[in-house]
Amino acid sequence: MSQLWRKTWRSLHTGWCWPPAVPTFTPCLQVLLPAAGLLQLQDVKKTCCEFLESQLHPVNCLGIRAFADMHACTDLLNKANTYAEQHFADVVLSEEFLNLGIEQVCSLISSDKLTISSEEKVFEAVIAWVSHDKDVRQEFMARLMEHVRLPLLPREYLVQRVEEEALVKNSSACKDYLIEAMKYHLLPTEQRVLMKSVRTRLRTPMNLPKLMVVVGGQAPKAIRSVECYDFKEERWHQVAELPSRRCRAGMVYMAGLVFAVGGFNGSLRVRTVDSYDPVKDQWTSVANMRDRRSTLGAAVLNGLLYAVGGFDGSTGLSSVEAYNIKSNEWFHVAPMNTRRSSVGVGVVGGLLYAVGGYDGASRQCLSTVECYNATANEWTYIAEMGTRRSGAGVGVLNNLLYAVGGHDGPLVRKSVEVYDPTTNTWRQVADMNMCRRNAGVTVIDKPL
């Protein structure tokens, strides 16, 4: 058996079975892998699968996926499927894609994990597949369009491209999906979050490069510099600078973009908001907030970016506003019950929490906490923390909300409290080793 295994390995890597220039199937593998499975030669079968995995390419991954499915190679099937999702834009240009059956196309384009720069890629792939055999396939348009997330497309594209497509015009069901998308764009911004369907859900690809972005800050004045840490390369490198100086801003990651919200430019608290596209290495100014804010809290809830509280240069703020990326609009939502600058925010269970902060009016740090229900558009006090905390770091882990450090006037804390929404209670957990305020908090996967 070991001799057969060695011969198999040599044959796979000499190019006899798999010409490296154009990765395609040959009779060797089509016979060898099924035979290995039938004869329960697990080492041979594993070697074949590993070789096929090493040869995955946009022109062959769909064929390898089908081959793996046919011969119950579960791991190879999953690897090929993931590869197709991660290289979707190139895969849909291949002959294999154009020759897929309707079930396989629907399965691919319905995936939340597609790595695409825009939903336009999915729409164009559908049109290309149907047009490849139009007489037979045009009857499948409605089934396919069910999986295209038209509401996520720009209004201009919907009007100028989708609406004018003959394959859409000739299908009443497709027109219904187009009307749904148009309605989504015409709804008042604050109501769009209530219009939930699979077609309004953002795709969440998994293979985007893992990067950490440090934006602006003080050195010692507000700066424009932006640096990016690449975990794979283990190095920092400069990326495109901010359009303007900014420190004490709110930062979030949403829809594949980094948003720098408000802050202080060295002279004024600002309303400006900039978004960074890591693919294009480019900053773009988006709509300004309604209010000037620095030391604000920023978070994402139900696909909207929220700017919570902050300081406008003269007073702490209770106002809260939300940004809709699709319409590029900010709108006020219900204000908090208390003015809060240096406020920590976190999202748990579909609710937005504002933790502690500084009220500015009575000049005291706060132990109070409020939560925002977007459906009711209402802020409600919840249980108070055991201690006053301004500038607390806030993190979420296992559906619990952590308040880390912060200060009460000159007293900087190392204590940590955790809130359980199911019991509406705070409890102390272990102290940190150092006192900290205005610390950043995030959750990562622990390496094995």
* Residue that the structure tokens 């509401």 belong to: 151
Query: Does residue 173 lie within any of the structural domains?
Result: yes
Look at residues 343, 336, 352 and name the one whose alpha carbon lies nearest to residue 401: 352
- Residue 47 tokens, joined: 């070697």
pLDDT of the residue at 16: 35
Average pLDDT, the chain: 85
CA separation for the pair 43, 35 (Å, rounded): 12
Query: Does residue 19 lie within any of the structural domains?
Result: no
pLDDT of the residue at 220: 87
Question: For position 304, which CATH number holds?
Answer: 2.120.10.80
Query: Does residue 344 lie within any of the structural domains?
Result: yes
Query: Does residue 49 lie within any of the structural domains?
Result: yes
Query: Does residue 404 lie within any of the structural domains?
Result: yes
Averages of pLDDT over runs of 10 residues in the chain (448 residues) are 41 39 47 54 69 84 86 85 91 94 95 86 96 95 95 88 94 92 77 74 68 84 87 79 93 88 95 87 93 96 95 95 94 97 94 94 90 96 96 90 93 94 95 87 55
Query: Does residue 18 lie within any of the structural domains?
Result: no
Query: Does residue 441 lie within any of the structural domains?
Result: no
How many domains does the chain contain in total?
2
Q: Are residues 134 and 44 in the same domain?
A: yes
pLDDT of the residue at 153: 87
Q: Are residues 163 and 266 in the same domain?
A: no
pLDDT of the residue at 117: 73
Q: Are residues 175 and 219 in the same domain?
A: no
Answer with the one of 193, 219, 236 that is the final residue of a domain. 193
- 210-234: pLDDT as tens digits: 667 888 888 889 999 988 877 667 7
Q: Are residues 255 and 177 in the same domain?
A: no
What angle in degrees, to the nearest 10, is found between the helix axes of 2-13 and 42-54?
Answer: 10
pLDDT of the residue at 194: 67
- Residue 259 tokens, joined: 């948003």
Question: For position 88, which CATH number holds?
Answer: 1.25.40.420
Q: Are residues 262 and 317 in the same domain?
A: yes
Structural domain containing residue 328: 211-429
Q: What is the DSSP string of 393-428?
A: EEEEETTEEEEE--EETTEE---EEEEETTTTEEEE
Answer with the one of 138, 160, 193 that is the final residue of a domain. 193
CA separation for the pair 239, 107 (Å, rounded): 37
Q: Are residues 242 and 318 in the same domain?
A: yes
Task: Answer whether 296's CB lies under 8 Å from 307's CB.
Answer: yes
What are the counts of helices (DSSP H) followed by strands (DSSP E) for the chain? 15, 21
Instruction: Report which residue type is found at 95.
Output: E
Query: Does residue 8 lie within any of the structural domains?
Result: no
Task: Give the containing element (helix H, strand E) for 372.
Answer: strand 369-373
Q: Are residues 182 and 217 in the same domain?
A: no
